[in-house]
Homo-oligomer: A and B are copies of this chain.
Amino acid sequence: MPRKVDHDQRRRHIVESLLRITGAQGLEAVSLREVAHEAGVSMGAVQHYFATKDEMLLYALQHWLSLSVHDRFAGRVRDRLAGAPAGEPAAMLRAIAAEYLPHDAAGRADALVAVAFLSRAAVAPALAAALAPAFAGFVRTLGTVFESAGPAIDAPAEAQRLAALLDGLRLPVLAGALSHRDALAVVDRHLAQLTTATAHA
């Protein structure tokens, strides 16, 4: 066996360049040559690791989901909760929301990547299939937090509602039509009203 290179690491390196381009200029700016250039490799190398562009896109999405969601997102939420009393559901949800809504350059890029793939998934079933479990997982995560808030709350339903709300807030924030602060205020109202309503239920 020849030339020891870590196959998976190279693939990751390439799609991370792809994601960087997508996060800055959208998916329509992604071409094989552009990706190769951004990755600092030749086009032949890119083709060596990905047979087609679609395969590369799919791998990029999968990699982004694990990388962005599992690693970065969870870590940032944890950081945000560092000072708060552990296990407080409302604080956790707020932290998740604050992190979900883009507020810095990295968050903006991530959100841009998300909407780019989301909208393409609407016409590319392969991407939709890859995206579906990730979305379901996010809702489930929210659900477990709601569960810890007590049995008075319909956890699955509230998780779905909050997830939708966050998703709907993300784009206005991204477009600058809504500030991060204002969007978070909507979430705060939402969470506050939720506990009020259930307290009287």
Which positions in A face B, CB cutoff 8 Å? 25-29, 112, 115-116, 118-123, 128, 131-132, 135-136, 154, 157, 160-161, 163-169, 171-172, 174-178, 186, 189-190, 193-194, 196-197, 200-201
Contact = CB atoms under 8 A, between A and B. Distances in A.
Contact of A161 (B121, B165, B197, B200): B165
Copies of chain A in the complex: 2
A165 B190 CA distance: 11
Nearest to A178: B160
Contacts of A161: 165, 186, 189-190
Contact of A167 (B135, B163, B171, B193): B171
Nearest to A170: B168
Contacts of A25: 123
Nearest to A194: B193
Contacts of A29: 123
B164 A168 contact: yes
